[in-house]
Structures are given as C-alpha cells and as structure tokens.
Amino acid sequence: MSFFIETLVGGLLAGVMYSLVAIGFVLVFKASGVFNFAQGSMVLCAALTFVTLRDKEIPFWLAAVITLAIMVAIAILIERVVLRPLVNRPQITLFMATLGLSFVIEGLAQIAMGASVHELDLGIIDTPVKFGDVQVSQFDLVAAGTAAVLVAALSIFFSRTRTGIALRAIADDPQAALSIGIRLQSLWQIVWGVAGFVSLVAGLLWGARQGVQFALTLVVLKALPVLIIGGFTSIAGAIVGGLIVGASDSLAEIYLGNLLGGSVSTWFSYVLAVAFLLVRPAGLFGEAPIERI
C-alpha cells in the first residue's frame, strides 16, 4: 500500500511540473486562440540564459531578474514582429508562425549560449523526506509548491481583474472587444510577458531536474495531453490535467509496465488524451459551447 501511495504522490508531484508548462499554453491560447508551439523553446531559452548568467558568477536573484527582463523583452518583440502583422489571420497561420518562431528562438539561444548540457543547481536539497512509510523527493515537493503558488496567483489575476475580463472578452468575440476599446496589442504583450515568466519558472525547475539541454523543448509534447485532458482554455484545467497525467503515467509504468514491456509512461498519457477526445472533446474544464434551449 505504501508503495502505491509513494508512486501516486511521485506522479502527482511530477504532474504539477507538467501543469507549469501547460499554463503558458492556456494563457496564450485564451488571448489569441493559438497553440503556441514556441512555448518549449521559451522554456529552454529561459533556462539557458539563467545558467549562462550563473556560470559568469552572477548572483542567483540578479540572474533571475535579468532573465525575466530578457523573456519579457522577447515576448514584446514577438507581439510586435510576429503577431501584430498577422492579426485576423486564420489560426493555422498563427500556429505556423509560432512553429517557425520556436526554431528561431532555439537557434538563436544556442548560437548565443552554446549547445552543451549545463548543470543547474537551485540549491534545493534533494534528499527524500519520510512521511511514515512513504518517501517523497524533497525537490519534487519544492517544485510542486512553487508551481502551486504560481498557478494560484495567475488564476486570480486572470479571472477577477480587468485584464482577466479583457482576456475572456477577446476569447469570446474579438470584434466586439475591439469595438469597446479593448487593446488587443497590450493584452497580447501582457499575456506573452506572463508566458515568458512562466517559462522562466518552468525552465529553472525542469532544468534543475534534467540538466539544461536541448531536450527541454520536448516538455511541450508532455503538455499536449495535459491540455487535451484539462481543456485548452482553463488554468484550473491545466492543473487537474497535469495531476492526472503525472499520476496515471507513473501508476501505469509500475502496474502495466511488466505486462506491456516497459516504457509505458512515454505513451500512456497520449492514449488517455485520445480517450478524453472521444468522450469530452472540450476537456474537463474547457469551455464547451453553451446551448440555450
């Protein structure tokens, strides 16, 4: 029993890390209806910038602030150079633009900072903590706690405030939103800026766990089932989706791994996502079309 709980808790904590990446997608998707493929590159770029600064003996907090400034600058640049000229184009056009953008960001980041694997030490002690019979990774606990605080702050900011209202208004009817004077451009800058901030946090936590390397961009692929299960338009959905993906992946690995020849966690969540697409295409918290009878 304690082994089951240990697996479950480990999975849930890993799931919070997925949620962290997924939130960046949700924000941009709500504001512009675009699946931002460049989110993974932004995670890599943030982590790479931070380690490079740290390697130059720059103190932790200063490095974090500089990286954040760079990420926000990139976000504003993306809005100006990529999104603004493409306003009112079909979603697939914007999607392709973010796909191209991801290559540009990855390429530039590696030209500027090199492609070697860096180690990132956040100073979090990674000794397991014992709760009765159950052992939990301390690093995972800290990571999950950080993610939880960030997610809570973001969901308050994007629901109760005028930015939240503007964001949801744009998502519902862009033309009406423009006609009452909501500024799409400044909203996009805010959202991409926040997405940059989220990628910084995700980049640090994932980078500390796996090492800062090119493969960090692949966390995008794990965010996809999270979004399908939770719904593309809900921050709460990103959290719950992340928990489901994390928990089911690690449970499936342990309990189905032997039957199916291992490596179950690499594909299990995708199968789960397909099942959700069949049963509940809008996701658990997604905004299904409202029908009035």
Partner 1 sequence: MTEPILQLRDVSLSFKGIKALNALSFEVERGEICALIGPNGAGKSSLLNIINGVYRADSGAVIFDGARFVRIRPGHAAHLGIGRTFQHNALFRHLSVLDNVLAGLIRHSRTSIIEHAFGLARDRRETREFTRQADETLAFLDLTRHRDTIAATLPYGVQKRVDLARALVGRPSLLLLDEPMAGMNQDEKHEMSRFILEANRALGTTIVLIEHDMSVVMGLSHHVVVLDYGRKVGDGAPESVRRDPDVIAAYLGTVH
Residues of this chain that interact with partner 1 (CB under 8 A) are: 157, 161-163, 165-166, 168-169, 171-173, 175-184, 190, 287, 290, 292
Considering the complex, what minimum distance in angstroms separates the CB of residue 234 from partner 1? 11
- Maximum distance among all Cα pairs of the chain, rounded to whole angstroms: 64
Nearest residue (CB) to partner 1, 116 versus 175: 175
Contact 73, 197 (CB under 8 A): no
Q: In 78-104, which positions are buried (b, 16+ CB within 10 angstroms) versus exposed (e)?
A: bbeebbeeeeeeeeeebeebbeebbee
Nearest residue (CB) to partner 1, 126 versus 172: 172
Nearest residue (CB) to partner 1, 184 versus 212: 184
Considering the complex, what minimum distance in angstroms separates the CB of residue 263 from partner 1? 40
CB atoms within 10 A of CB 224: 18
Contact 248, 11 (CB under 8 A): yes
Considering the complex, what minimum distance in angstroms separates the CB of residue 118 from partner 1? 31
Q: Which of 132, 135, 143 is nearest to 6 (CA)?
A: 135
Sign of the alpha-carbon torsion through 118, 41, 16, 277:
negative
Considering the complex, what minimum distance in angstroms separates the CB of residue 228 from partner 1? 20
Nearest residue (CB) to partner 1, 11 versus 24: 24
